[in-house]
Amino acid sequence: MKSTQPNILGKEFDCINKIIKRLPTLSIGDDCAVLEFGGKKLLVSVDTFSDKVHFDTKYFSLKEIGQKCCEASISDVAAMGGKPLYIAISLAVPNYKLIHDIVNGIKSSVQRHKIFVIGGDTTYSKVLSISITVLGTTIKPIYRYGARPGDAVYTTGYTGLSAAGLYVLKKKIKGSKKLEQKHKHPIAQIEKGLVAAKYATSMIDISDGLASELYHLAFQGKVDIEVSHIPLSTELKSFCKKQKLVPQNLALYGGEDYELLLTGPEEELSKIKGLIKIGQVINKSNNSEVLIKQGTKSLLLDPSKGFKHF
């Protein structure tokens, strides 16, 4: 459970709010729970992935599924400015023979980030499902609620490339292997998160779409945000022109890029290599609006087009 938001962001958050009201809870509302342990801050996060919802075996090998699920889970620790240390894995599979290849994908991810598997569970299910719990640590956790008026808004990279890759897979478009790989092989931005955390006032990973994540930071920080620049790559613009697609739509609503979205002082964040400035926190506000600048006008950004879990 990662957030308590109004229903403008969909049924998932209505569901979470109902759970929170019925159970004793602690540290709800961010990518990870933050616990004090032995004088250190321990980060804990859990994610669940299901076939035909988060991936499709028509497009992914089992190894690719294992790797992507692991990177997506580790990304939550990156979003808190932390370093992942351990994971526990639960696999529900229709055939135990599938486990070997899935684990090979997980292996490639944990080796990349130098983390260890400490346990998990396996069981039978008609639908392939993977649940991953990540444990990490941080000196200074970066929450979603810290955005302040005057902060600049940055991403750690371009968005919309994963959505374009999914389009490539579904339409069986030839000659777009790089975009396909962007969707199938995301990499959690651990190092960028660690560097950005030195100055960031709020941070979140971009899993459900840039528009949705902007609203998370706005709601949690009780601020309004104005977007003046959508982080579009040349590659995405070229692809969309050929396919007659609107690149801004993919970049705002596509999701699964697993870049980071953050706020903080521009004089510090502008010095970090690879960050892209996309806007500004403009004022405190209980309305928590996200506006997108179009010419001389600023229009309200629609958050409802991103990924929905229900």
Please indicate, yes or no, if residue 1 is contained in any of the structural domains: no
Tokens of 21: 């009201």
Q: For residues 84 and 157, state if they share a domain.
A: no
Please indicate, yes or no, if residue 79 is contained in any of the structural domains: yes
Please indicate, yes or no, if residue 208 is contained in any of the structural domains: yes
Query: Looking at residue 1, what is its pLDDT?
Result: 41
Q: For residues 45 and 110, state if they share a domain.
A: yes
Q: For residues 50 and 132, state if they share a domain.
A: yes
The runs of H, that is alpha helices, within 244-310 are 247-253, 266-269
Q: For residues 189 and 276, state if they share a domain.
A: yes
- For the chain, residues with pLDDT lower than 70 are 1-29, 306-310
> Which of residues 83, 107, 138 is at a domain's end?
138
CATH number at residue 269: 3.90.650.10
CATH number at residue 124: 3.30.1330.10
Please indicate, yes or no, if residue 222 is contained in any of the structural domains: yes
Cα 66 to Cα 301: distance, rounded to the nearest angstrom: 34
Q: Which domain holds residue 67?
A: 31-138
Q: For residues 240 and 111, state if they share a domain.
A: no
Please indicate, yes or no, if residue 191 is contained in any of the structural domains: yes
Q: For residues 160 and 295, state if they share a domain.
A: yes
Residues in Cβ contact with 192 at an 8 Å cutoff, skipping those fewer than 6 apart: 78, 156, 260, 272, 274, 275
Closest CA to 266 of 285, 256, 280: 280
> Which of residues 106, 138, 170 is at a domain's end?
138
Q: For residues 158 and 279, state if they share a domain.
A: yes
Number of compact structural domains in the chain: 2
Check if the beta carbon of residue 159 is closer than 8 Å to that of residue 229. no
Residue 2, CA distances (Å) to 19, 67, 78, 293 in order:
12, 22, 14, 29
Read off the pTM: 0.90
Q: For residues 62 and 197, state if they share a domain.
A: no
Strand partners, 262: 154, 203
